[in-house]
């Protein structure tokens, strides 16, 4: 009877450990933890069944010790690696994530090599003003291989016998949004040149240094590269190609000891995303270069609604870039960095819906999350016997709905 009482209390303790661990994972609200939660609960069920059979007290104690070791080795945060002596190369530091990351890493003591498109631009001037002498600014257009090679030579010359610890692939480009059929081919090619081919060229160029140091590659991607956001075909396709390349690289670099991480940010105000003049210019370029047959079929008010919806969405984006910057720091310094990081609010809900619920639900969610289009193409309105003016009031209503929905997600 006494042996049974001991087993019972050990059973309670073990169950508390396992269930507590699972709840901690769940409450962390990180979609990447879902497989771990499932595995954790599976082991919990197994232990529960074993204990229910009144295992001997000695065996129960052994299970308790192993469980505690597994739990604390899993749950205890690992200290970051030391910063001293580490150098990092970052692309796209004129503004946004790259600019903020360069400042943060410099403040932490990293030696930073930051690329900008314009050495005399506001972003470069700001970095010179606020950063230490450890930061080196390099003018690099990542679509120009010769500039990347020159950056490599300058980086190696500055490092001397020291290693390059990390590469942060941050540079990216997104042009005006439109239906996949309406987007200009120059948009597709431009996104692929910067987001895919440019990033590949930078990564391949600096890989020998990273293999030598057994360092880190951190790449800023996008959820639009994994899910079909309406009107983001050109940008999303380039990020999808990038994701596959980075994941393949991750497997291939494992024997070399190079850790590869991908960061998927939520909606943040970066670059030209909140500049109305920039998007107005892109919109005019779209109208001027679109085949007249398509413009007549869809109608200019259809395109105008898309532009205004996106501008309204961009206005509600998060101005605080620290979630992404902190994630980059973690990926560079964690002893065991994650393969994928989700930075920003709303991503957990989005990834859960898009990964686990039926397509009919996830498609509707993406439509409501990004652009809630209500203006029908002109040709469809004519087929249904509607006049062009029937959609005039829907644009304002749609903008209000988009703003309200974005606040709920954030």
**pLDDT computed for residue 406 by the predictor:** 39
The mean per-residue pLDDT over the stretch 45-52 comes to: 59
Own/partner long-range contacts of 2-6 (Cβ < 8 Å, ≥24 apart):
3/56, 3/57, 4/54, 6/57, 6/60
Q: What is the per-residue pLDDT for 32?
A: 46
Distance between CA atoms of residues 97 and 270, nearest Å: 7
Confidence of residue 117 (pLDDT cuts 50, 70, 90): very high
Task: For residue 235, indicate whether it is catalytic.
Answer: yes
Question: Quick one: what percent of the chain has pLDDT higher than 70?
Answer: 74
The burial of 55, by beta-carbon neighbours within 10 Å (0-12 exposed, 13-18 middle, 19 or more buried), is given as middle
Q: In what order do the strands lie in the sheet with 216-220?
A: 136-139, 111-116, 87-90, 166-169, 216-220, 259-265, 340-343
- Mean pLDDT across the stretch 150-173? 95
pLDDT above 80 (res 126): yes
* pLDDT exceeds 80 at position 192: yes
Q: Give residue 287's Cα distance to chain centre.
A: 31
Scan for tokens 């609200």, then name that residue.
29
Question: Is 281's pLDDT higher than 50?
Answer: yes
**Phi and psi for 116 in degrees, rounded to 5?**
-135, 155
Distance CA(209)–CA(154), nearest Å, equals 13
Q: Looking at residue 48, what is its pLDDT?
A: 57
Residue scoring higher pLDDT (262 or 366): 262
From 11, 71, 235, 302, active-site residue? 235
- pLDDT top residue among 94 and 229: 94
How far is residue 200's CA from residue 147's CA, in Å, rounded to a whole number? 14
Mean pLDDT of the chain: 82
pLDDT (average), residues 309-324 = 82
pLDDT at 333 over 60: yes
* β strands within 38-97, DSSP E: 87-90
Q: Give me the pLDDT at residue 387, please.
A: 65
Looking at residue 277, its pLDDT comes to 80
Identity of the highest mean pLDDT range in 70-84, 297-311, 377-391: 297-311
Residue with the two structure tokens 């994630």: 327
What is residue 266's predicted lDDT score, i.e. its pLDDT?
Answer: 86
Question: Rounded CA gap, 209 and 164, in Å?
Answer: 6
pTM (predicted TM-score): 0.78
Q: Which range, 258-272, 323-337, 366-380, is most confident?
A: 323-337
Distance CA 403, CA 410 (A): 11
Better pLDDT: 332 or 266:
332
């Amino acid at each position: 009877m006494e042996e049974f009482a001991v087993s019972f209390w050990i059973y309670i303790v073990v169950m508390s450990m396992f269930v507590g661990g699972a709840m901690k994972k769940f409450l962390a609200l990180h979609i990447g933890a879902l497989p771990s939660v499932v595995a954790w609960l599976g082991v919990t069920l197994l232990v529960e069944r074993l204990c229910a059979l009144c295992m001997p007290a000695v065996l129960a104690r052994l299970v308790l010790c192993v469980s505690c070791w597994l739990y604390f080795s899993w749950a205890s945060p690992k200290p970051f690696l030391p910063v001293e002596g580490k150098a990092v190369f970052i692309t796209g530091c004129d503004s946004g994530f790259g600019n903020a990351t360069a400042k943060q890493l410099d403040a932490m003591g990293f030696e930073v090599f930051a690329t900008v498109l314009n050495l005399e631009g506001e972003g470069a001037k700001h970095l010179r003003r606020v950063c230490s002498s450890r930061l080196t600014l390099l003018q690099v257009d990542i679509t120009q291989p010769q500039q990347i090679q020159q950056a490599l030579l300058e980086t190696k010359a500055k490092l001397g016998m020291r290693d390059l610890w990390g590469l942060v692939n941050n540079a990216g480009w997104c042009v005006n949004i439109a239906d996949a059929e309406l987007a200009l081919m120059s948009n597709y090619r431009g996104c692929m040149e910067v987001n895919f081919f440019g990033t590949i060229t930078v990564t391949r160029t600096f890989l020998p240094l990273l293999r030598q140091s057994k360092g880190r590659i951190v790449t800023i991607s996008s959820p639009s590269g994994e899910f079909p956001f309406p009107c983001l075909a050109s940008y999303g396709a380039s990020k999808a190609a990038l994701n596959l390349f980075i994941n393949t690289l991750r497997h291939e670099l494992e024997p070399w000891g190079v850790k590869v991480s991908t960061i998927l940010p939520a909606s943040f105000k970066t670059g030209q995303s909140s500049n109305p003049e920039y998007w107005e210019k892109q919109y005019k370029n779209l109208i001027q270069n679109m085949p007249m047959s398509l413009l007549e079929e869809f109608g200019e008010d259809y395109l105008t609604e898309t532009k205004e919806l996106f501008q309204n969405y961009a206005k509600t984006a998060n101005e605080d870039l620290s979630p992404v910057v902190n994630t980059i720091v973690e990926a560079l310094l964690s002893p065991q960095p994650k393969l994928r990081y989700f930075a920003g609010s709303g991503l957990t809900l989005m990834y859960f819906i898009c990964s686990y619920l039926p397509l009919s639900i996830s498609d509707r969610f993406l439509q409501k999350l990004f652009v809630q289009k209500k203006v029908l193409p002109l040709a469809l309105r004519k087929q249904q016997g509607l006049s062009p003016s029937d959609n005039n009031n829907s644009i304002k209503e749609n903008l209000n709905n988009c703003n309200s929905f974005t606040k709920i997600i954030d």
